[in-house]
Structure 1
Amino acid sequence: MFPHPEDHAYNRFIQTLLSTQTVYTLSDDEGIAECPSTDYEGSDGEPVPVYCIWATPEDAQACKAEEWAGYQVEAVPLQVLMAEWLIGMDQDEVLVGVDFDPQLYGLEIEPVELLGDLLDAAEQQGVDLEIEEYPELVNYRLEWERWAAGQSRLN
């Protein structure tokens, strides 16, 4: 999956996460910033939720407006994103919103695709992710890829 030569912004996002070992989100008492997908519908015909993350605190801060005005920028260790959040997001059938802009435009991606791209980039670059669950993440990704090859994901 990685690299995506046609998507320089996504590649820069991956590189920044590997470099800083941190991802940013906006959160409040009810959870992290989310919006409805503009590209995917669930089996109920409703837009799939998209949980938004950013590579820099400045990009996250720029999106603190309207319904997210009261949210706080939260730093999340990359290990937590990869070992806990992305698997949970996949199981909850939500998407990841990568570096959305203040108009809520950005890349909507399957959580396991992002996981795979991070794993691939880290391996290619010799970055030690220091994740205890690393073998489980690799296995989860491989099982997801086998499953995805047999049928479509979100429509």
Structure 2
Amino acid sequence: MNQKEFEAVIRLPANIRYEYFVKKVVDFEEIWGLYDDGWAMTSDDNGNLLLPFWPKKEFAEYCASEEWSNYNAHRISLEAFINDWLPGMQKDRHKPSIFWNRDDSAVMEIHVLLNDLEQELENY
């Protein structure tokens, strides 16, 4: 990905970045998170725990700043994300924060994200 594409995508509204995320993670069969002795987490205004995920390593690395400055981008296979991560997050009542850009993200219900991923997988 070149710098021009990176800058154009990172500035998109959260809902469009979410759509980009779904297409890219299905296309490349990988998701990126930030890890350093545990996965990067944040919370919403109601105190709900959120786990941030990105479609490409470059976007995750861009967000490894401030409180996450010691974190490194870590790959998660799409299969593990669907079969292990999402059920575990649902059990723990954590929500996915999709494609944070240091400003906002799309915070999704797990069943919505899972449905969108499965629908996109049907195109392959």
Is TM more than 0.5 here?
Answer: yes
Deviation at 1:8, TM superposition (A): 2.8
Structure with greater Cα Rg: 1
Q: Distance in 1 between matches of 2:57 and 2:25?
A: 12
Partner of 2:29: 21
Who is 1:100 aligned against?
100
Distance 1:8 1:50 in 2: 19
When the two chains are superposed, the root-mean-square deviation of aligned CA atoms in Å is 1.1
The residue that corresponds to 1:34 in the other structure is 41
1:57-136 maps to which residues of 2 (within 5 A)?
57-103=57-103, 105-123=104-122, 125=123, 127=124
1:24–1:74 CA contact under 8 A, matched in 2 = yes
> How many angstroms does 1:13 deviate by?
1.0
Amino acid across the alignment from 2:106: L
Q: Secondary structure at the match of 2:63?
A: coil
TM-score, normalising length from structure 2? Answer: 0.84
| Counterpart code for 2:72 | Q
Report the Cα distance in structure 2 between the residues aligned to 1:102 and 1:8, rounded to whole angstroms. 16
1:96 alignment partner AA: P
Instruction: Choose the corresponding residue for 1:9, options 14, 17, 29.
Output: 17
- Post-superposition CA distance 1:19-65 (Å, at most 9, x none): 10000000111x21111113xx3xxxxx1000000001111001111
Distance 2:23 2:65 in 1: 27
Would you identify which runs of 4 or more consecutive aligned residues in structure 1 move more than 6 Å? Answer: none
Provide the identity percentage.
Answer: 25
Deviation string 1:130-153 (CA, Å, 9 cap, x unpaired) is xxxxxxxxxxxxxxxxxxxxxxxx
Larger helix percent: 2
Q: Deviations over 1:52-106 (max 9, x none)?
A: 0000111100111111000111011100100000010011111100000123x11
TM-score, normalised relative to structure 1: 0.68
Residue ranges of structure 2 left out of the alignment (5+ in a row): 1-14
